[in-house]
Amino acid sequence: MRSVLHKLQRKSGKVSLSAISKFTWIMPTYFVLILFAIIIAFPLFFMVSLSLQSFQEVSHFPPIIIPSSFQFGNYVTLFERIPLFPRYLLNSFIFAGSIVVGHLFLSSLTGYIFAKFNFPFKRAIITFVLISLLFPGNLRVIPLYSFMVKLGLVNTYAGLIIPFIVGPFTIFIMYRFISSIPTEIMEVARIDGASEPRIFLSIILPLAKPALVVVTIFQFTFRWNMYLWPLVMTRGKLRTLPVVVAQFKGTESFFRWNLIGTACILLLIPSFLIFIFLQRYITRGTAGALKF
Amino acid sequence: MSAPLYLRKRLIFVYVSLMPMLMIIGLFVFYPILGAFMLSLTSGMGTKQRFVGFAKYRSIFASTEFWNSLGVTGLFIGGVVSITIVLALVLAAILNSEKVKGKSFFRACLYFPRMTSMVIIALVWQYMLNERFGIINYLLNLLGLRKISWLTSSSLALSSLMIIQIWAIVGWTMMLILANLQGIPRSYYDASEIDGANAWQRLIYITIPLLLPVISLAVLLCTMNTFIGSFVLVQVITHGGPRHSTDVFSYLIYRTAFEYFDLSGANALALIAMGLLIIVGVFQVKTTR
C-alpha cells in the first residue's frame, strides 16, 4: 500500500483524498464483479451438471450441484426417448446453414454493389432495404405464416428457409466493411480484364473474410436458436432442435430435468463450437492484398 | 448513342445481382404485410371468409386481453431494457478502469449467455426457480428466508421473467458499451482533470454524451432482443402466466393464431404491433435530432 501512495505522491505532488478513497473501493468492486461472474456463469455450469445427474438426484431436495456419479448414460437415454433426435439436429443444421450461406453470398453481393457502384435508382433501392428494417422478423412471423399457408409451403424446408435467406442487417454489415476496401483493387482488376463476377468472387470475397466470419457466427447462432418461426412452420419430422427440446419438457408426466439438461447441452454444442472455431478469424485483418 | 459496352455490362451485373435480394425482400417482407392487412379485414376461416372491414380491430381494442397484454409487454420491455442498460453501464465502467485485474476472464464469463439459446435459458431458470426444489429457494432457505413462488404467483411471475431476460442480455450489452467506452480518448479525461473536474462531472460531461449513440443503439438492440426472448420465456415457462400476468404481446399473437384459430385476428395484432413499432421508431429518430 505504501508503494502505491508513494507513486501517487510523485505524480501529483500531493496525496489527494481521492487517491485513498480510490484504493478502498477496489475490494467491494472485485466482490461485485465476482458475484456477477458467478451469477452469470453458474446456471450454465449447473445445466452441465444436470445433464449428468440421475433422476433421483435431479428430484432430490436440497438440489445437488455436483452429481455423485456422472451419468453419461443420460445421453443414450435421451436418444432412446427421442429417436428422431439426429433428424432434428440435421434439420437445424440445414436451416441455419442454408441461411448462413444465403447471407454470405447475397448480402455481401448486395453490400458490395451498394458500396462500390453507382447506378440509376440506387437511392430508391437502398431506401427499400432500409425500410425493411422496420419490420423485424419476429413480428413478421404470423403474416409470413399466413402467406405460406396460401402458398402451401408450410412444413417444407423451402418455406422455412427462403424468407430469411437474406436480410438488411447483414447487408449493412457487409456494406460498411466493403466500403473500407480500396476501390483501386477493383480498377486494377478491371484493367487486367477481369469480369465483374470474377472480381466479386476472387477479390472482394476473400478480402471480406473478417466480416464474413462475423456474419457467419452471428447468423448461425441466431438461426440455430430461432424458436417462434420453426415452431409455427414445422410439424413432426421437420422440426428443429430448439422446438423439440422445449416440447420435450411438456411430454413428460413428471419433468425429467436431467434429460432436459442433456438435451440442452446437445442443443448448445454446435453453436458453441462454431463460435469457438471462428473467433480467431475475426482478428486477422485485410493486410496482404494491398502490398504492391 | 448508348453507353460503352463495359458500362452496359456493369449495369447488367448490378441489376442481375440485386434482383434476388430485391425479390426476396419484396416477396417476404413487404408482401406479407399487405396480405396481413387484407386478412385482418376478414373474419371466419376458409369458405366462411367474409369481408368485415375494421370489425376485427374494434373487437381487439375492446378486449381486456389486448390491453392487459400491452401493459404487461410495456412493463416487461421497459423494465428489462432500463435495468439492463444501467447495469451494463456500471459493469462496463468497472471493467474499463485499469485498476481491475483479470478483465478478460470477467468479460468472457459475461458473454456466456449470448452463446446459448433462449430455450436453454428458459429451461434452466425454470428449474432453478422451482418453488419446491429449486436451488434459489434452497439458498433462501439457508439464509433463513421463506420460499418464494417465483413463477407461480401472479404478482411475481413477470418480475421473475424480467430477471431471466436481464440475465440473458446484460453480458453482451455491456460488451457493446465497453467497446465504445474504450474508444474515448484518455486525453479528454486528463484535460478535464487539469481543469478541476471531479469524477462526477467527468461522468456527466464527457462519458455520457460520448456514449449516447451507443446507448441508443443498445436500447434498440435490447428492445428487439427482449421482444423475441419474451415469447420464448412465456411459451416455455408460464404460458401466459398465472392469470394472464405474463401474457406478453408476442405470446398473445401466437395464442390468437394457434389456440383461438383466429388467423385474421392474429394478423391484425401483428400489424398493430408493427404500427406501434414504427411510431416509436419515428419518435426516437425525432428526439435524437
Question: B170 and B88 in contact (C-beta within 8 Å)?
Answer: yes
| Stated pTM of the model | 0.85
Q: Length of chain A, please? A: 292
| Residue B281, amino acid | G
ipTM: 0.87
**Residue A125 in contact with partner chain B when CB distance is under 8 A:** yes
d(CA B130, CA B145): 16
A190 contacts on B by Cβ (under 8 Å):
6
Instruction: Tell whether the model's pLDDT for residue B2 goes beyond 70.
Output: no
CA dist B223 → B165, B229, B270 (Å) = 11, 10, 17
Q: Across the interface, which of A41, A200, A268 has its CB nearest the CB of B109?
A: A41
Q: Do B109 and A224 touch (CB under 8 A)?
A: no
Q: Please list the residues that pair with B51 across neighbouring strands.
A: B42
CB-based contacts of A139: which residues, under 8 Å, 6+ apart? B227, B270, B273, B274, B277
Helical segments of chain B, H only: 5-25, 31-40, 55-62, 64-96, 103-115, 118-128, 135-142, 157-181, 186-194, 199-202, 208-233, 249-258, 263-287
Strands B50-51 and B42-43 come out as antiparallel
Task: Tell me the torsion sign for CA atoms B109, B110, B111, B115.
Answer: positive
Whether residue A280 has pLDDT greater than 90: no
Q: Looking at CA atoms only, how far is residue B152 from chain A in angstroms?
A: 16
Residue in B18, B171, B228 closest to A138 by CB: B228
Look at the alpha carbons of A220, A224, A230, A234 in this order and tell me if their dihedral is positive or negative: positive
Question: Would you say residue B280 has pLDDT above 80?
Answer: yes
Q: Where does B101-206 have alpha helices with state H?
A: 103-115, 118-128, 135-142, 157-181, 186-194, 199-202
| pLDDT recorded at residue A13 | 43
User: Which residue in the block uniquely carries the three cell numbers 451507443?
Assistant: B214
Number of helical (H) and strand (E) elements in chain A, helices listed first: 18, 0
Q: Is the CB of B106 less than 8 angstroms away from the CB of A143? A: no
The pLDDT tens digits for B98-156 are 666 667 777 777 777 888 889 999 999 998 898 887 888 888 888 888 888 888 888 88
Band the pLDDT of A69: cuts 50, 70, 90: confident
Q: Name the pLDDT band for B186 (thresholds 50, 70, 90).
A: confident
Bigger pLDDT: A280 vs B13? B13
Distance between CA atoms of residues B258 and A129, nearest Å? 31
The stretch B54-83 carries a mean pLDDT of 91
State chain A's maximal CA–CA distance in angstroms: 79
Say yes or no: A264 contacts chain B, CB-CB below 8 A: yes
